[in-house]
Chain A
Amino acid sequence: MSELILSRRRLLGTGALGLSGLVAGCDRINADPGVRGLLEQVGDVHRVAQRALIGRTALAKEFSAADMSPLFRANGSTRVADPAYRAELARGFAGWQLQVSGLVHNPMVLPMAALMALPQRTQITRHDCVEGWSAIGKWQGPRLSAVLKLAGLRPEARYIVFHCADLYGGRPYYESIDLIDAFHEQTILAWRMNDAPLTEAHGAPLRLRVERQLGYKQAKYVMGLEARSSLAGLHGGKGGYWEDVRGYQWYGGI
């Protein structure tokens, strides 16, 4: 009997060892750059297929006020530590200005009043977090395309980068989109949410809405736009905070 128990214990031990070996093996495969490269290449089929299928102009679904989430979950940074930001927050962003820089003919700074004076778009859309949850909210602001037209993109510009006021895990948050999404009808710089000025938790004073992509692309606390020809050389080089830090896809449409 004791032999049986011993052997059973040994069997369990061997099984657990085998399992942990298998798990470690799987993680080694997961960490292998060749395997990752191949997986990412195959997975990129989705981006190519989506771009071909949905085109430049297809609109994300817009909802009615009755469809809105009773409470919109705030995620990621919900407070900004930067003293300059806190001072502006205290005075209602009266002295805040959006910096427009990079590959543009007219680099400029735009105060909130200038953004509010541009034609406004209001949309009730679904925000899909990469974690899996969704919330429906109402957003208002000028189209990003209107701001880009004011500044005048130079022909080499390929990407619009959004520089944010918040640090997440000690690193500056940023995001980027290509010109297809930058000039999309629903891509706006929202300063209002659910019929009130943006709160700090949701990205005051200005937040990007790029409605055909996931939540991590919707940069909060936007301080500046930068037009670039390439994403290389900027922070981690992958075009966004979560892309650099965790390896999330740059294309957030999936």
Chain B
Amino acid sequence: MADTPPDDTPAPQGGELVRRHRRSTRLWHWTNAFTLAVMLMSGLMILNAHPRLYWGEYGANPDHAWLVLGGEADVPFPGWITIPAHYSPADARIWHFAFAVVLVVALLAYLVRSLLNGHIRRDLMPRLAELHPAHLWHDILDHARLKFPTGLAALDYNILQKLAYGSVLFVLLPLVIVTGMAMSPGLDAGLPWLTVVLGGRQSARSLHFLAAAGLVAFFLVHMAMVVLAGPVNEVRSMLTGWYRLPREKDQ
């Protein structure tokens, strides 16, 4: 939480435990993490049924695929990374559609809550100065040198974090949901604009895959940053809300 403490309390120093993540953020974070894991693993099983991707409205074996996964393999994704582990797109669909409901409801609840409590405006929205190329470049260099903010500065998301979290919340998750909806022949009848804006059902399916790949890329970078920034402190702050401020260099 980036609230400025009232004047009469001393500002917390490096090494002190401070409140960091709101309950709504922590609750959504773990619900969403689990949900996305189920969605990814069941999604890979569904993709096993036809691991070819196309652009446009139609696309099947006789048509040109822009991506064919697995090559000679029977199915591209092995059992340890799919739900269920044995080949069953039918079971995978049961998991995928049940957790799709959790994904959408949790995301909507979190976005509304974060809009109302100011989390989006205060913590997630980049300030204009932060978007200045010089500032961006400075932050990229700091990250590349593994130089992370200390003291109070560590309480605010830096611009690269804001951009990463913002693209998950406002680009990748909405895209993965809308493209998922566009693959449903039932919804396509009721909401014909779905496939129109996405360039056809097979384009929607390709974009669904790319959005999921983007979420996996985010996850990998996210894991790397958590490990580099101190996994115990980071995970504790997302579980309990309490975060130990990193000490200043001269402390």
Known: A42-B98, A132-B205, A133-B61. A54 touches B190 (CB 8 A): yes
Choose, from B116-124, B171-179, B180-188, the stretch at the interface.
B180-188
Across-interface contacts of B94 in A (CB, < 8 A): 36, 39-40, 43, 247, 249
Interface residue tally for chain B (C-beta within 8 Å):
45
Known: A42-B98, A247-B90. A134 touches B201 (CB 8 A): yes
Chain B residue, CB-CB nearest to A73: B60
Minimum Cβ distance to chain B for residue A149 (Å): 23
Residue B5 interfacial (CB < 8 Å): no
Minimum Cβ distance to chain A for residue B209 (Å): 10
Across-interface contacts of A131 in B (CB, < 8 A): 49-50, 89
Whether the pair A61, B192 counts as a contact (CB closer than 8 A) is: yes
Whether the pair A61, B202 counts as a contact (CB closer than 8 A) is: no
From B47, B62, B192, A132 is in contact (CB under 8 Å) with B47
Q: Which of A34-49 contact B (CB under 8 A)?
A: 36, 38-40, 42-43, 45-46
Whether the pair B187, A53 counts as a contact (CB closer than 8 A) is: yes
Across-interface contacts of A63 in B (CB, < 8 A): 57
From A26, A59, A129, A130, B84 is in contact (CB under 8 Å) with A26
From A39, A133, A242, B59 is in contact (CB under 8 Å) with A133
Q: Which of A57-83 contact B (CB under 8 A)?
A: 58-61, 63, 67, 69-73
Whether the pair A30, B83 counts as a contact (CB closer than 8 A) is: yes
Chain A residue, CB-CB nearest to B180: A254
Chain A residue, CB-CB nearest to B81: A23
**A23 to B45, alpha carbons, bound, how many Å?**
14
Whether the pair B89, A130 counts as a contact (CB closer than 8 A) is: yes
Across-interface contacts of A69 in B (CB, < 8 A): 58, 60, 62-63
Across-interface contacts of B191 in A (CB, < 8 A): 53-54
**A135 to B200, alpha carbons, bound, how many Å?**
12
Residue A27 interfacial (CB < 8 Å): yes
Chain B residue, CB-CB nearest to A243: B90
Across-interface contacts of A54 in B (CB, < 8 A): 186-187, 189-191
**A68 to B98, alpha carbons, bound, how many Å?**
33
Interface residue tally for chain A (C-beta within 8 Å):
54
Q: Tell which of B54, B62, B85, B98 has the most Cβ of chain A within 10 Å.
A: B98
**A30 to B57, alpha carbons, bound, how many Å?**
33
How would you classify the secondary structure of chain B's contact residues: helix, strand, loop or mixed? helix
**A45 to B101, alpha carbons, bound, how many Å?**
8
**A108 to B90, alpha carbons, bound, how many Å?**
36
**A249 to B95, alpha carbons, bound, how many Å?**
12
**A42 to B102, alpha carbons, bound, how many Å?**
9
Identify the 10 closest CB pairs spanning chains A and B, nearest first.
Answer: A253-B186, A54-B190, A43-B97, A133-B60, A132-B50, A71-B62, A42-B98, A131-B49, A131-B50, A39-B98
Which A residues are within 8 Å of any B CB, using their own CB? 19-20, 22-24, 26-27, 30, 36, 38-40, 42-43, 45-46, 50, 53-55, 58-61, 63, 67, 69-73, 126, 128-136, 211-214, 242, 246-249, 251-254
Given contacts A212-B189, A247-B88, A249-B93, 18 further A-B contacts (CB under 8 A): A22-B80, A24-B85, A27-B85, A42-B97, A42-B102, A43-B97, A50-B187, A54-B187, A61-B188, A63-B57, A67-B58, A70-B62, A70-B63, A131-B49, A132-B52, A212-B188, A248-B90, A252-B185
